[in-house]
Amino acid sequence: MIFKRVVFAGLFLVAAGTLCGSSLLGHHAATMFDTTKVIEITAKVKELQWTNPHIWIQIEVQNADGVRQEWSIEGGGPNSLSRQGWRPTTFKPGETVTLRINPMRDGTNAGLFVGVKFSDGKTLGRWDAQP
């Protein structure tokens, strides 16, 4: 299966504040993430780490050169997320999802979770945060 990174950070500048993701993080500041940008990536789920202090969604993304790379997407804590309907099975290994994230400021392969659309069309998080 081929995974395509469909958009790039530079294309999706948005206003600070309206899409700020720092409220998701109860444990540390979100200064490593550029919360003024949202990028959208389509990827294959490798693993959901349902752990404190934050959950991590490990995904595989194919870059523009066709090279498959692992990305780490950080989310909120499992306690708060569970009260928003998340479960350890919310992301299933092997499934294809479309994620919207705040990218790392230094351009490395990680980001802060903003929203997700699953293959059945269901969404979680702030999917209305348009890139």
Q: Which residues of this chain interact with other proteins, rule CB under 8 A?
A: 16-17, 20, 22-23, 25-32, 35, 47, 49, 51-54, 56, 58, 70, 72, 74, 77-80, 82-83, 104-110
Residue number with CB closer to other proteins (85 or 121): 85
Structure tokens at 16: 């600070």
Question: Residue length, the chain?
Answer: 131
Residue number with CB closer to other proteins (1 or 29): 29
Residue labelled with tokens 């790039």: 8
**What does DSSP assign to residue 107?**
-
Give the nearest distance from C-beta 36 to other proteins in angstroms.
Answer: 10
Q: Which residues contact 117 (CB under 8 A, 6 or more apart)?
A: 97, 98, 123, 127
Give the nearest distance from C-beta 39 to other proteins in angstroms.
Answer: 16
